[in-house]
Amino acid sequence: MKKIVIVSDIHANAESLLVLPEEYDELWILGDLVNYGPNPVEVIDYARAKASVIVRGNHDHAVGFGKDPRCSARFRAMAEATGRFTTAVLSEAHKQFLRELPTHIEREVDRLKFLACHAIPSNPLYEYCPPDADRWREEVSGITADVLFIGHTHLPFQRKIGSKVVVNPGSLGQPKHGRPEASYAVWDGDSVRLVNTPYHVEETVRKIQALRLPSEIKADLSTVLRCGGFPRSS
C-alpha cells in the first residue's frame, strides 16, 4: 500500500514545506504553488524535485499566463501586489513550468481511481465549493474516480458521497481554518488522514515584511497567516 502525501495551496510559503513527513511514496500537489508568499522560486523548485503529481491552480495560471486569478474581493489587492512580485522574481523557465501544468490528473493506485484538480472537476481553476455544498453530488456523479482530491478553498474536509470520497487537504501555506497551522492530508492505502500542524509562521511573516510591498498589503498578508484567515470582525 502506497503512502501518499497530498498538499494544496502552498502559496510560496517555504516554511510550511518543512512540516511534511520525511517518508512517503508519493507527493501530490493540488495547485497554487505561488502568489501571496515570499518564496515562489524555492517552492516551485521543491515541487519539481519532490512531487509526482502537480496540477495547476488559479494563481499558477495567473502568474504563468499573466491572467486575473479571480480571487475573492478581500484578497484581490494582495493577489495583485504579490503577483507583480512573483512575476518579477520567477525565471521564464519557472513560468513555463506553471503554464505546462495540467488542470487535472487521473491516477490509479492500489486498484483505486483518483482524480486530482485544484477547484472542482467541472471548473478546475476557479469555482469555490464549500464542504457542505449540495453541488458536490453533481460533481462526483460526473467522474469515474473513487476518490476526488481538490483544494482552492483552503478549508480541510473529507466527505463521502455514495461510493465516492471527496477530500480537501486544506492549505499548507495559507490556512483559512482559523488557526496558524499548515494543513495537508495523508492517504495510507485505504483511508485519508487530515493533518493540521504548527510551522514557523513568524519566519514567513518576517520575510513578507521585508518585501517591497505596500504596508497595508504586508499587514493583511501577515494577519491571514497569524490568524488562519481574516478574523470574523475584519
Query: How far apart, in whole angstroms, are the C-alpha atoms of residue 145 and residue 202?
Result: 39
The mean pLDDT values, 10 residues at a time, for the chain of 234 residues are: 95 98 96 98 98 98 97 93 98 98 96 96 96 93 95 97 96 96 93 96 98 97 96 58
State the cell numbers at 47: 515541487
Residue 7 makes CB contacts below 8 A (sequence gap 6+) with: 20, 27, 28, 29, 30, 169, 172, 184, 185
Predicted pLDDT at 139 = 94
Sheet architecture: strand order including 164-168: 104-109, 112-117, 147-149, 164-168, 157-161
Residue 1 is predicted with a pLDDT of: 82
Domains of the chain: 4-227 (3.60.21.10)
Identify whether the C-beta of residue 33 lies closer than 8 Å to the C-beta of residue 7. no
The pLDDT assigned to 19 comes to 97
Please tell me the pTM assigned to this model. Answer: 0.96
In the prediction, which pLDDT does 56 show? 98
Residue for cell digits 470582525? Answer: 233
